[in-house]
Each structure stands twice: as C-alpha cells, then as structure tokens.
A and B are shown apart, each in its own frame.
Chain A
Amino acid sequence: DAKTTQPTSMDCAEGRAANLPCNHSTISGNEYVYWYRQIHSQGPQYIIHGLKNNETNEMASLIITEDRKSSTLILPHATLRDTAVYYCIGRGNTPLVFGKGTRLSVIA
C-alpha cells in the first residue's frame, strides 16, 4: 500500500470550504485513494474514494492530481459537526492501514 503524508492539524472557519491535502507519491496504478473520518471517539466513517478521476458525493469532493501523487479532500461548506480526524489511505487489495490523519477543527 502507498505511504501517505498529511498535515497534523488544520483549522477552518464555519461555512467556508475545508481543503485537506494528502501526499501519496508512491501510489501505484491500481491503488485507490480512500478518505475516512473519525468524529471524537466514534468508529471511522467512510467519506469518499477515487482512482484517477475527481469524485463527488453528498459529503465531499475528491480532487486527484493528474500524476496521482497527491489529492485534496474538499468539504464545501464546513460545519462544526465536521470537526474530526480525517484519514487519507492509499490501498490496493489489502486491508486498510490508518495513519495519524489530519485533525480538522471547524471554528465558529
């Protein structure tokens, strides 16, 4: 699985877009980029995943660079309930490997 690098923490003003970067320069061609988040001490929650193309769902958008070495998770209108640890995971056909993620704090 690809090694990923994320900032330790980020702040975002409520109502603004939150842009969370992830570097995965060693990702291989068949490895997907997955994003999960963990709110307080709850179980992680799936957000979105992608391979090459940008993806959007009801929760977020995922922008993957053309060379696939990095990606950005975008929460278009962050709310206080989006405060959580966000995990970026690069993986093939193997179980998830979680790093320490990015702690996003949404500020009123």
Chain B
Amino acid sequence: NAGVTQTPKFRVLKTGQSMTLLCAQDMNHEYMYWYRQDPGMGLRLIHYSVGEGTTAKGEVPDGYNVSRLKKQNFLLGLESAAPSQTSVYFCASSYGTPQETQYFGPGTRLLVL
C-alpha cells in the first residue's frame, strides 16, 4: 500500500494563478482532510470530507475549494493564489469517524510570489 500520496511535492505560483493539489489514498478510508502548516505553527484544518461527494469547512477555508468525486481522491483548489497561501499543505485520511487514527501524506510545499 502506498498509503496517502500528494501531488505535486513542490510548486511555485505567481499571485493570481490557480492550481489544484491532489491527494490520493489506497486504504479505502471514508474521511479525508486538508491541512496547512505555516512556519513554526501547528496544522490548521482547511476542509474535510466525510465521504464521496461530501465536503465540509474546517478552521481556515477561505480562498480554497475542494472536491471529492471519487472516494480515494480529495482535491484542494486555489482559484486565485495569494502570498498568504504560501505554506506546506498536508492531506490526511481516516477509516471511519474523525476519532479514528489519521494517516498523513508527505506534504506539498507551495510558494506564492
């Protein structure tokens, strides 16, 4: 099993550009999550999904959109990137409820100039 994978690993964007981050898991997990981590800070939840076709807002959802068209994939979109979105983005998944153990991907480093 690959676990949780994220694409791309690193990306540089100019202000106003758009991009999509892809998260994939092969563990048949129902729940998937997107977090961001700024330097010296803990992780903050952006959006999450409790199953295929569902999404919900987390702590810091503004400026991001998500989609869960397939159970194994969770996409995070930035429609118009801003320098404040420079961060490391982590995806995670869990089997059942959020009380279940979460498994994290390796992260995507995003730099917005």
Interface residues of A (CB under 8 A from B): 32, 36, 41-46, 49, 87, 91-101
Contacts and interface: CB of A to CB of B under 8 A. Distances in A.
Contacts, number: 52
Interface of B: 4, 33, 35, 40-45, 48, 58-59, 88, 90, 92, 97-99, 101-107
Contact of A46 (B35, B90, B103): B103
A42 B42 contact: no
B101 A46 contact: yes
B98 A91 contact: yes
A101 B42 CA distance: 7
A87 B59 CA distance: 18
B44 A98 contact: yes
A100 B42 contact: yes
B105 A94 contact: no
Contacts of A45: 104
Given A44-B90, A87-B42, A49 B107 contact: no
Contacts of B43: 44, 96, 98
Contacts of A95: 33, 45, 48, 58, 98
Contacts of A91: 98-99
A104 B109 CA distance: 24
A96 B106 contact: no
A15 B14 CA distance: 47
A75 B97 CA distance: 28
> Max chain B CB contacts within 10 Å: which of A91, A97, A100?
A97
Given A41-B88, A43-B107, A95-B48, A100 B58 contact: no
Contacts of A42: 106-107
B86 to A, nearest CB: 14
A97 B41 CA distance: 12
Given A44-B90, A93-B97, A99 B105 contact: no
Given A93-B99, A95-B98, A44 B33 contact: no
Contacts of A101: 42
